[in-house]
Amino acid sequence: MNKIIFNIDGHKKLAKSIASELGMEVGQVKTTYFSDGELMVKSLSDVKDKDVYILQSTDKPAVEHLFKIILLADSCKNAHAKNVHLIVPYFGFARQERISCKNEPNSCKVVANILSNSGAATISCIDLHHPIIYSFFENIRLTDIRPYKLFKNYYVEYFKKQNISLNTVCVVAPDHGANRRAHELSESLGLTNEVVILTKHRPRANQSEVLAIDGDVKDKNCIIIDDIIDTGKTISNAAKMLLEKGAKSVCVGACHGVFSAKAYKYLHQKYIDDVVILNTINKHYPKWIHILDIAPLLVENILANHI
């Protein structure tokens, strides 16, 4: 067996699913925490001459998860792995992809540089936040996996069960940054309705206010689609605005369920009919949130790219 996959924190079920599909070994990892706050991560499995896959999102605690990835990558390189491949479904720091105030770092670029110089040959992520992030990765082959066929399959079945015709469905981007995602989903569903774009103003971090709507949603069943749900405030404000403008119903879909602060409170409202996310972050979610499995996408990516 010349392929082995490691999961460091969580994603145990996801790693096993990928391993089963591709005939991989699931590796064993040891993490040691020292009294001074330092840590060490190493492989307990033989990786010599093997293709190694390290599965780890950089969600909270983002810095610790990031550091564990690069330590395990180095451990495997030192143990003479053939190649190391990073699978980072949720790429934390992605929303810090630009400098917006004086003296700010470009944190996203810094993290991309760290991973680019980890000794890994490739890195695969699910729906990176902004296209500019592609340019931050050097010395490593990056794949940004587009997940919208998962959402397409989900919504075809969802609206069928609700006896709602797809002709009445409209995809909504909660801001201009989500425009590409909205078009991808709309096209995959074969919708003829124009994508609706909301304009928002963010006065400070983790606060947003939806100000305007570009498009007609009267008598439409709306899907708000985005890459990340964090506080849930933007989505909640958007849903209320759509209904005020005459929408029949509002569903919410997102790749990464960060769900910080009071997100569940904002999203678990009578004016939001359904919430669906991907299992890119390993955490427990309430039962009313539906979760789609990314394992088939990751398997497909490994096979398609011969990694």
Q: What is the pLDDT of residues 201-250, one digit of tens each?
A: 666 666 656 568 888 999 999 999 999 999 999 899 999 999 999 999 99
More confident residue, 234 or 187: 187
The three-class DSSP label of residue 144 is strand
* Contact yes or no for 31/88 (Cβ under 8 A): no
Strands (E), 128-191: 141-145, 169-173
What pLDDT, on the 0 to 100 scale, is given for residue 203?
A: 61
- Could you read off the pLDDT of 105-163 as tens digits, one per residue? 999 999 999 999 999 999 999 999 999 999 999 999 999 999 999 999 999 999 999 99
Q: Cβ atoms within 10 A of the Cβ of 181, count? A: 24
**Does the domain spanning 148-292 belong to CATH 3.40.228.10?**
no
Among the ranges given (207-211, 218-222, 266-270, 297-301), the one the predictor scored with the smallest mean pLDDT: 207-211
Helix axes 107-116, 62-78, angle to 10 degrees: 20
pLDDT attached to residue 210: 57
| Active site annotation includes 30 | no
- Active-site residue (options: 152, 200, 240, 245): 200
pLDDT tens column, 55-112 = 999 999 999 999 999 999 999 999 999 999 999 999 999 999 999 899 999 999 999 9
- In a 13 Å sphere around the CA of 53, the CA atoms on its Cβ side amount to 28
Query: What CATH class is the domain 3-145?
Result: alpha beta
Phi, psi of 185 (to 5 degrees): -65, -45
Predicted structure pTM score: 0.93
Residue with the larger pLDDT of the pair 99 and 200:
99
CATH 3.40.50.2020 domain range(s) in the chain: 3-145, 148-292
- CA gap 75, 272 in Å, rounded: 46
